[in-house]
Amino acid sequence: MAKTPKKEAKKSSGYSAESITVLEGLEPVRKRPGMYIGTTGLDGLHHLIWEIFDNSRDEAMGGFADDIEVTLLPNKRIRVIDNGRGIPVDVHKTTKVSALETIMTTLHAGGKFGGDGYKVSGGLHGVGASVVNALSTYTKAEVHKDGGYYLQEYDRGKARARVKKVGSTDFTGSIITFEADPTIFPVIEYDFNKIVQHLRQQAYLVKAVRISIVDAREYPGKIDLADVRYFRELGFLVPSQTFYFEGGLKSLVIFNNRFQKPVHSSVFYVEKELDDVQVEVALQYVDDISARITAFANNTYNAEGGTHVTGFKTALTRTLNSYARKNNIVKEADENFTGEDVLEGLTCIISVKLREIQFEGQTKGKLGSVEARGAVETVFSEAFNMFLEEHPDEARSIIGKVLLALKARKAAKAAKDSVLRKGALDGMTLPGKLADCQTKNAWESEIFIVEGDSAGGSSKQGRDRRTQAILPLRGKILNVERARLDKMLASNEIKNLVIAMGTAIGDLFDISKLRYHKIIIATDADVDGAHIRTLLLTLFYRYFRGVIDGGFLYIAQPPLFKAKFGKEVFYLQTEAELEALLKARGIKSEEFNTEESLEETDEEETEEQAESKATKKQAKPTIQRYKGLGEMNPEELWETTMDPTRRVLKQVKVEDGQDADRVFDILMGTDVPARKSFIQSNAKAATLDI
- Runs of H (alpha helix) within 288-369: 307-326, 339-343
pLDDT tens digits along 491-507: 888 888 988 999 888 77
pLDDT tens digits along 525-534: 777 788 888 8
Q: Closest Cα partner for 304 from 262, 365, 345?
A: 365
Secondary structure letter of residue 500 according to DSSP: H
Residue 594, pLDDT score:
45
Cα 321–chain centre separation:
34
Q: Which of 59, 280, 446, 524 is catalytic?
A: 524
Fold for the domain defined by 17-243: Heat Shock Protein 90 (3.30.565)
Most confident of 124-128, 571-575, 587-591: 571-575
Q: Is 451 a catalytic residue?
A: yes
- Predicted confidence band at 192 (pLDDT cuts at 50, 70, 90)? very high
- Name which residue leads in pLDDT, 597 or 512: 512
Under 8 Å between Cβ of 542 and 557: no
Q: Is 656 a catalytic residue?
A: no
Q: What is the mean pLDDT of the chain?
A: 81
Q: Which of 224, 526, 568, 635 is catalytic?
A: 526
Residue 120, pLDDT score:
55
CA distance 108 to 581: 56
Fold for the domain defined by 429-558: Rossmann fold (3.40.50)
Residue 247, pLDDT score:
83
What is the second-level CATH architecture of the domain 249-408? 2-Layer Sandwich (3.30)
- Name which residue leads in pLDDT, 32 or 469: 469
CA distance 111 to 276: 19
CA distance 97 to 95: 5
b/e 332-364 (16+ beta carbons within 10 angstroms → b):
eeeeebeeebbbbbbbbbbbbbbeebbbeeebb
Lowest average pLDDT, out of 217-226, 372-381, 646-655, goes to: 217-226
**Which segments of the chain belong to CATH 3.30.230.10?**
249-408
pLDDT over threshold 50, residue 187: yes
Q: Which of 59, 288, 451, 481 is catalytic?
A: 451
Q: List, in sequence order, every residue forming a beta bridge with 441; answer none if it has no partner.
A: none
Residue 541, pLDDT score:
86
**Which segments of the chain belong to CATH 3.40.50.670?**
429-558
pLDDT over threshold 50, residue 268: yes
Q: Closest Cα partner for 316 from 267, 376, 402, 381?
A: 381
- Predicted confidence band at 367 (pLDDT cuts at 50, 70, 90)? very high
What is the rounded average pLDDT of the residues 378-384? Answer: 96
CA distance 327 to 393: 12
- Name which residue leads in pLDDT, 630 or 253: 253
CA angle 79, 85, 87 (to 5 degrees): 60
What is the rounded average pLDDT of the residues 20-24? Answer: 55
Lowest average pLDDT, out of 221-225, 274-278, 622-626, goes to: 221-225
- Name which residue leads in pLDDT, 167 or 220: 167
**Coil, strand or helix at 665:** helix
pLDDT over threshold 70, residue 318: yes
CA distance 478 to 482: 10
277-285 β-sheet, strand order: 268-274, 277-285, 346-354, 292-297, 300-301
Q: Is 526 a catalytic residue?
A: yes
- Predicted confidence band at 671 (pLDDT cuts at 50, 70, 90)? low
Under 8 Å between Cβ of 402 and 343: no
| Complete DSSP assignment for 589-645 | GGG-BSS--PPPPPTTS-HHHHHHHHHHHHHSPEEEE-SSGGGS-HHHHIIIII-TT
Q: Which of 464, 528, 631, 671 is catalytic?
A: 528
Cα 676–chain centre separation:
22
**Coil, strand or helix at 207:** coil
Q: Is 271 a catalytic residue?
A: no
pLDDT tens digits along 284-308: 999 888 899 999 998 888 988 999 9
